[in-house]
Structure 1
Amino acid sequence: MTIATAASGVIPPVCTPLTPAHEVDTASLTRLVDHLLDGGVDGLFVLGSSSETAFLTDGHRRTVLDTVIGHVAGQVPVLAGVIDMTTPRVLDHVRAAVAAGADALVATAPFYTLTSPAEIAVHFRTIAARAGLPLYAYDLPVSVHTKLDAALVLDLAAEGVLTGIKDSSGNEAALREVLLGRRDRGIASFSVLTGSELTVDTALWMGADGVVPGLGNIDPHGYTRLFHAASKGDWTTARDEQERLFRLYDLVKVARGRMGGGSSALGAFKAALHLRGVIDHPTTAPPQIPLNAEETARVAEHLTGAGLL
């Protein structure tokens, strides 16, 4: 499937189920995809942060691409993360994603090495030229340590280099700057997606086109209800759904202090999917450590409180 228009709606970043031996659990992955499709999502984003892409080998990445794209079979667009430190490494992932049949690509700015805005522009232009697919910028300063400048993003959008952006910066003012710049410069086809799953109603009210919610793995139906209510201008229903999801998101905190925030969140997502019967194992990739029995029980309490268990 080729994305004829810029992406919109609910596009979860698909978790990567693993076996206890840390191989991709393809059977669980296809069940997770079915769970998300049943939730009414508008697309899937594989090999992003919630997919643990930083922990996956190149072979694991290819298995994820082949499994998801093959199973979806064109029902919804599949956006493939091609995230890596530098342009040559990203281009290797681009070739794999194109060969697997991805509908669009998602890339961060380079990281580990410090780069300038001019070099970031070269990075995105090179990817777009080589790929021949829609390219989304992934603004993730917590991991990349570079905040994408709104003017740079909009310049690249106007050039046709970028089809959209996934803004996971958590900076609502910066998100608004992109939205206003898009309007002022007449780049209506440029897609703005928020990755901040706790303020989706606000982002949609400001004019964002959709959301890429990690928590959407657990409750895709909730995010589609939120999006559909907002699309109809029913902001009260959208707010109520957002507040329910806001409380559910507390499950990511059950292991904070004993492990890193990212490990706690990914562990909680996988524990929740396991408790809901979607995946066979809550295994996370090393060196992340698993949730213990008490923490898993607290995840179950959050699921019960949200009406999901």
Structure 2
Amino acid sequence: MTDQHATPGRSPHAPLITGGVVPPLCTPLTPDRELDVDSLERLVAHLVTAGVHGLFVGGSTGEAAYLPDALRRQALDVVVGTVAGQLPVLAGVVDMSTPRVVEHARAAAALGADALVATAPFYSPTHPVEILGHFRTIRAAVDLPLIGYDIPSAVHTKLAAATVAELAADATLAGLKDSSGDLDGLRDVLELVAGIDGFRVFSGSETVADLGLRCGAAGVVPGLGNVDPHGYVRLYDAAVAGDWDEALRQQRRLHTLFDLIRVAPTDRMGRYSSAIGAFKAALMLRGVIRYPTTSLPMIPLEAAEIEAVGKHLAAADLPVSTQ
């Protein structure tokens, strides 16, 4: 990749991510829901030190659908500046319609992102031909690698394996983040794109990351990777070495840790609120971020629920800050 899009005063673009652990960053917020810049810088350092292979800003774990556009862009600006070319930074440009996604994409390119991540359009029903046009329009508008994001639980449209393969074959898409939870579908995509040079598929699962890698995924994009990046790096390294027993041991440990997303009862809040709140509470307890604030209208965790998060950390042998 050339440095033609490099932001003045910043390092040129990092090479496009080819595999590994790419955590989708949480977005630390102050109690009045402004960006907590110091905490975000500490979070980036926490992940880089753990040996991750890239950073994804503006995904579901980052509360992108809840944040004002200016805050989304501020978070990306902080991460790009903090990383300073050490790792590739992927920018989520998720939005309801093609024109809005193109606006986000142009802003992300200007801020120095190394690649873009986009879903299918949502809210209004979308035909497969329209999905093809959506991704091709984004790629034509901004000359950065574009990664498709398959998350039907959020956008209510499944990126069909044939659609992904067609977009990979004409170089519209450089990769796929599969958060569908559909291992059969993941395998279908991997088989269809196997002969396309440079196309990379990433699993978005926290709990079956090892299976995704064994199917042939190039890497993982786990939200829990904010809390325990070292654990996912160990899992990935074991998979690369072909030590699937060790990969399974790491996955079982992370599967147990992932239960922290259930600290709040579902009759009090949705599972998404509980998960994001738990990730942020864990990061606060670990001394990485200052506050566990989540975006409106999400419901915050109560003190007893934050205490329960701490117990999950202790059971996983993750240190908690004493400050």
1:255 corresponds to which residue?
A: 264
| Rounded Cα–Cα distance in structure 1 between residues aligned with 2:270 and 2:197 | 39
C-alpha separation in 1, matches of 2:74 and 2:193: 36
* 1:1-309 → structure 2 map (5 Å cutoff): 1-2=12-13, 4-183=15-194, 186-257=195-266, 258-309=268-319
1:4, distance to aligned residue in structure 2 (A): 4.2
Residues 225-284 of structure 1: CA distance to partner in whole angstroms, max 9, x if unpaired? 000010000111110000000000000011131100110000000000000000000000
Gaps of 5+ in 1: none
Structure 1 position 3, deviation (Å): 5.5
| SS of residue in 1 equivalent to 2:122 | coil
Amino acid at match of 1:116: H
TM-score of the pair, normalised by structure 2: 0.94
Aligned residues of 1:6 and 1:163 also touching (Cα < 8 A): no
In the aligned structure 2, how far is the partner of 1:109 from the partner of 1:298?
36
Q: How much does 1:7 deviate?
A: 2.8
Q: Is the 8 A contact 1:5 1:189 kept in 2?
A: no
Distance 2:18 2:290 in 1: 31
Flag structure 2 segments of 5+ consecutive residues without an equivalent: 1-11
Equivalent residue letter for 1:308: L
Q: Deviations over 1:35-56 (max 9, x none)?
A: 0001100000000000000111
Alignment partner of 2:193: what SS? helix
> Using the alignment, how far apart are the partners of 1:105 and 1:207 within structure 2?
22
Cα deviation digits, residues 196-221 of structure 1 (max 9, x gap): 11011111111100000000000000
Identity %: 59
Contact kept? 2:14, 2:87, Cα under 8 Å: no
- The runs of 4+ residues in structure 1 deviating greater than 4 Å are 3-6
- Equivalent pairs, count: 307
For the aligned residue pairs, the C-alpha RMSD in angstroms reads 0.9
